[in-house]
């Protein structure tokens, strides 16, 4: 294999494929990226940790000799990134010795046979779904922080992607909270339905690859065991988590005894201030004492106590309820709009946080039991 490519273009595409390279593996080949040169299909770079795989689309490069070779990803990336500006020649011989040249710099690195590298699973590119890149990026940002990190319930370490009636719902549950985001799909028959559970790791990596702008369409293909996301410059393939996702539909009830309306930033700042009294924010609750026209936010810890008060609009009965402050902070940071509402039922029932300006995002969190 022999190719000639601009340093910056090569470096950028190595970084893309590197997102699927395994850092913890006993298989040395999975620490590599695969360089594939084909005069017909162009130059491609592939990373695959057997859970997710990333393959760049054809890269602007001169292909001098067809072939493939696997190179240790981090070392290859570091070398290319630190070469001088200009064109880089990468050549592998029959012993998989890779020579990298740029101007007066030259490296010789021992690679591995490209035949030993696991290619990405084949997915039939039929009946695609389309969603705007910025929309998908926001959906992942607003839900993926709710995914469980405990592997004891594998189904909760991924997110539900439910396609129904021309829209996509993404739902994440960790046992203490639920995040739900909905958006319209592009060019989809309304009678198509699909439910899959995508690992959190795959969504994190696709989120890093997605542009912020909403001007790019992402193509999604689904098979029995995998999902493929097609982006402008690469594809990402992920395995799916098998099993039935938790039934979430009935948790977002419209019944409540108390509802408050508040400015998101003001409430967020109040909770963050009150939480400063605790060194371990996850263990020390904040208490919300909701009265007729205000909320008192308090925290009592072994280091001291904190009090803050915020004017809000209240409908219904006064209520005193406590939460893990991190769960409230995460939810409020995920909402883009200025005005929010929070529904309460009892001090031991979950609350529901929503934007007052859009209906596409909902967040539910369980309270903590107040000590007598």
Q: 101 and 166 share a domain?
A: no
Per-residue burial over 278-291, b if 16 or more Cβ lie within 10 Å, else e, is beebeebbbbbbbe
C-alpha–C-alpha distance, residues 104 and 99, integer Å? 13
Output phi, psi for 184, to 5 deg: -80, 140
The predicted pLDDT at position 158 comes to 97
Q: Is residue 161 part of a domain?
A: yes
Q: 353 is written with which tokens? A: 């946080």
Tally of domains within the chain: 3
Q: Is residue 324 part of a domain?
A: yes
Q: 265 and 359 share a domain?
A: yes
The predicted pLDDT at position 185 comes to 87
Q: Is residue 121 part of a domain?
A: no
Coil vs helix vs strand at 36: strand
pLDDT above 90: percentage of residues in the chain: 82
Q: Is residue 372 part of a domain?
A: no
Q: Is residue 246 part of a domain?
A: no
The pTM of the full predicted model, rounded to 2 decimals, is 0.91
- Summarize pLDDT for 302-312 with one digit per residue, the tens: 888 999 999 99
Q: 108 and 8 share a domain?
A: yes
Which domain does 349 fall in, by range?
258-365
DSSP class of 156:
G
Position 192 confidence tier, pLDDT thresholds 50, 70, 90: confident
What CATH number did the domain enclosing 38 receive? 3.10.150.10
Cα of 271 vs its chain's centroid, Å: 25
C-alpha–C-alpha distance, residues 331 and 334, integer Å? 5
The sign of the CA dihedral 77, 45, 54, 232 is positive
Q: Is residue 232 part of a domain?
A: yes
Q: 144 and 223 share a domain?
A: yes
Q: 133 and 228 share a domain?
A: yes
- Choose one of 78, 93, 116: the last residue of a domain: 116
User: Of the candidates 311, 307, 290, 285, which has an alpha carbon nearest to the alpha carbon of residue 298?
Assistant: 307
- Summarize pLDDT for 105-161 with one digit per residue, the tens: 999 999 999 999 998 999 988 889 999 999 999 999 999 999 998 888 899 999 999
- Choose one of 68, 91, 116: the last residue of a domain: 116
């Amino acid at each position: 294999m022999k190719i000639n490519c601009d340093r910056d273009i090569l470096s950028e595409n190595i970084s893309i494929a590197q997102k699927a390279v395994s850092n913890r593996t006993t298989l040395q080949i999975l620490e590599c990226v695969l360089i594939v040169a084909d005069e017909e299909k162009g130059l491609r770079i592939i990373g695959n940790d057997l859970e997710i795989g990333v393959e760049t689309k054809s890269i602007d490069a001169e292909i001098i000799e067809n072939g493939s070779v696997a190179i240790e990803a981090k070392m290859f990336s570091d070398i290319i990134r630190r070469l001088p500006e200009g064109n880089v020649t990468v050549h592998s011989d029959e012993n998989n010795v890779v020579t990298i040249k740029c101007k007066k710099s030259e490296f010789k690195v021992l690679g591995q046979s490209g035949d030993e590298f696991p290619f990405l699973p084949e997915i039939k590119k039929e009946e695609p779904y389309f969603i705007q890149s910025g929309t998908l990026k926001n959906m992942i940002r607003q839900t993926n922080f709710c995914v469980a990190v405990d592997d004891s319930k594998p189904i909760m370490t991924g997110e539900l992607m439910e396609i129904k009636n021309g829209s996509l719902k993404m739902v994440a549950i960790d046992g203490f909270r639920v995040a739900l985001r909905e958006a319209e799909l592009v060019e989809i028959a309304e009678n198509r339905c699909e439910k899959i559970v995508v690992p959190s790791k795959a969504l994190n990596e696709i989120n890093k690859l997605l542009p912020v702008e909403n001007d790019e369409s992402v193509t999604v293909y689904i098979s029995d065991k995998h999902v493929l996301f097609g982006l402008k410059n690469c594809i990402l393939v992920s395995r799916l988590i098998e099993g039935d996702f938790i039934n979430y539909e009935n948790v977002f009830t419209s019944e409540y005894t108390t509802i408050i309306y508040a400015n998101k930033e003001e409430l967020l700042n109040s909770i963050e201030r009150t939480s400063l009294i605790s060194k371990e924010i996850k263990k020390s609750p904040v208490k919300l004492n909701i009265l007729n026209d205000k909320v008192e936010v308090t925290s009592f810890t072994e280091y001291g106590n904190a009090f803050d008060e915020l004017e809000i609009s209240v409908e219904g009965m006064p209520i005193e309820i406590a939460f893990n402050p991190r769960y409230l902070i995460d939810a409020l940071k995920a909402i883009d709009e200025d005005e929010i509402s929070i529904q309460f039922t009892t001090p031991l029932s979950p609350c529901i946080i929503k934007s007052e300006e859009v209906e596409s995002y909902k967040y539910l969190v369980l309270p903590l039991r107040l000590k007598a």
